[in-house]
Amino acid sequence: MCRRLASNEADALDATQEALLAIVRGLPRFDGRAAFSTWAYRVATNACLDELRRRGRRPRPGLPDQEDASGGRPDEATGDDWADAVADRMAVDAALARLPEEFRVAVVLRDLCDLDYADIADVLGIPPGTVRSRIARGRAQLGHLLDPGNHDAADDRPTAARAARRPAPRRTTTPPDPRTTP
């Protein structure tokens, strides 16, 4: 989860280490109101976001680190299927890195960590409706970023920004024609 949120291997490793230390230190305070996994995801998410803020780093558009989880490199691929899988994963990682943080976190927790909406709401401390909205918007932006046939640099801005720059439609009213009105 930290790798997907940080989109940089070094930051992800640091955040994972901080998360594990925070979980161990926080065990005495775990009260059991939520599932342990939900609590652990919340601690890990907060540790990752804190690490990124502390270092002043934000994921940048482009390709993430070129290593896969097993330490191999894509250019060592021996089969087309494996190479395609690595390319797909890199494309998803690059697209995730371009999402705004609020959408990226919600999408990663739902689609990659398989948490349900209520657990994500607990992890992020936001209402379930907001979780649904962020996931829907994040998925929509991901779909746009992953669809090479529908990619325009001007459309990378969030939807609200595009709507704000679009002029409002003009409403014109014509005065009544004196010849047709009694």
**179: pLDDT confidence band, cut at 50, 70 and 90?**
low
- Report whether CATH 3.40.710.10 matches the domain 2-68+79-165: no
* Domain spans of the chain, in order of start: 2-68+79-165
Residues 6+ apart with CB under 8 A from 104: 4, 5, 59, 96, 97, 138
CA–CA dist 4, 93 (Å, integer):
7
Q: How far is CA 180 from CA 61, 158, 173, 176, in A?
A: 61, 48, 16, 8
Contact 38, 131 (CB under 8 A): no
pLDDT, tens digit (0-9, with 9 covering 90-100), for 24-75: 999 998 888 888 988 888 888 888 888 878 776 554 444 444 444 444 444 4
38-52 pLDDT, tens digit per residue, is 888 888 888 888 887
